[in-house]
């Protein structure tokens, strides 16, 4: 499905990462990929190991809070790819205090960090990607239901996801009308046990809740694969008429009202 296509993937830490499951689907469809990792030898080693099966064209450090890192990451993409087709944004961060304290205790600093890493970064990466993206390209980010409804512990990360989803719509409107007609969508994933998810509080209890409530089985090993497959759909020409969407991949959890 993706022979001859190239993707730049942000947000893989290990083979539990949702970004990794997206990359696996892209790789299986013949897509060539470059990857970013958080700066630092420890991160680099983990990511090199995780993406090795995908035969990466390049790996480049990038802390998305730093404009100079973003510029050098896209320079690496330009040097290695020339142009590319797909951008995967699968990253988020909020300080631990955000998940541990009541929402009313949110500090200005924590608010800014969560929004910067988890929402603004999509805008910054899309802007840097646009000159290098081929016409008809596609951008996918990862959101969560807490953007829309109260979920215990999510607090400021929920606000950041709401900003992310709104940014998807604004980017989709602007980039869709751009001469390159780039699509921008989000996958709103159900709870999956990743490192980031473990940091949000009681992920085991959350997954148990999904298992009780969602129409389809959720929380077993296959859940991350489902996320990867739906992201593949949104990134591929199968979704060529789809943009600005928040696409739930959560076993139907969001549709249940009790
Ligand atoms: N796991 C879940 O239950 C779940 C559900 C819905 C949405 N999501 C979203 O999926 C995305 C990927 O998370 P995951 O669950 O795969 O966890 P993960 O820990 O595997 O991935 C998070 C990634 O964010 C990166 N990151 C954090 N701060 C960064 C920064 N300043 N610059 C660059 N990269 C940075 C980390 O290095 C890591 O690669 C996130 O947006 C997350 O909110 C996860």
* Cα 250 to Cα 230: distance, rounded to the nearest angstrom: 11
CB of 189 closer than 6 angstroms to any ligand 1 atom: yes
Catalytic machinery residues: 144, 154
CATH class of 6-255: alpha beta
Domain residue limits, the chain = 6-255
CA distance readout (Å), 180 to 131, 132, 169:
9, 11, 17
Reduced to 3 states (helix: H, G, I; strand: E, B; else coil), residue 184 is strand
List the chain pLDDT tens, one digit each, 258 residues: 999 999 999 999 999 999 999 999 999 999 999 999 999 999 999 999 999 999 999 999 999 999 999 999 999 999 999 999 999 999 999 999 999 999 999 999 999 999 999 999 999 999 999 999 999 999 999 999 999 999 999 999 999 999 999 999 999 999 999 999 999 999 999 999 999 999 988 899 999 999 999 999 998 779 999 999 999 999 999 999 999 999 999 999 999 998
What residue's CA is closest to ligand 1, atom 24? Answer: 91
Give the distance (Å) from ligand 1 centre to CA of residue 213. Answer: 24
Which residues are within 8 A (CB) of 200 and not within 5 positions of it... i.e. 6 or more apart? 99, 153, 154, 157, 206
**DSSP 8-state code for residue 65:** T
Beta strands (DSSP E) in the chain are: 6-10, 32-37, 58-61, 84-89, 133-143, 183-189, 246-249
């Amino acid at each position: 499905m993706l022979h001859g296509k190239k993707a730049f993937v942000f947000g893989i830490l290990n083979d539990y990462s949702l970004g990794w499951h997206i990359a696996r689907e892209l790789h299986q469809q013949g897509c060539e990929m470059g990857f970013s990792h958080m700066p630092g030898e420890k991160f680099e080693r983990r990511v090199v190991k995780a993406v090795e099966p995908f035969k990466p064209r390049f790996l480049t450090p990038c802390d998305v809070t730093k404009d100079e890192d973003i510029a050098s990451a896209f320079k690496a993409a330009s040097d290695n790819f020339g142009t590319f087709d797909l951008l995967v944004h699968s990253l988020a961060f909020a300080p631990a205090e955000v998940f541990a304290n009541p929402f009313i205790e949110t500090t200005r600093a924590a608010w800014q960090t969560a929004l910067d890493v988890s929402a603004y970064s999509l805008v910054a990466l899309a802007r840097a990607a646009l000159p290098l993206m081929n016409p008809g390209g596609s951008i996918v980010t990862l959101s969560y239901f807490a953007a829309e409804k109260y979920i215990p512990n999510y607090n400021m990360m929920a606000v950041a996801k709401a900003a992310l989803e709104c940014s998807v719509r604004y980017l989709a409107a602007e980039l869709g009308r751009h001469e390159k007609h780039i699509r921008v969508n989000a996958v709103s994933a159900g709870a999956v046990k990743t490192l980031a998810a473990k940091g949000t509080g009681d992920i085991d209890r959350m997954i148990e809740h999904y298992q009780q409530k969602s129409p389809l089985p959720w929380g077993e090993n296959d859940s991350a694969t489902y996320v990867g497959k739906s992201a593949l759909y949104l990134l591929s020409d199968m979704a060529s008429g789809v943009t600005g969407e928040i696409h739930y991949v959560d076993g139907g959890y969001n549709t249940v009202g009790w």
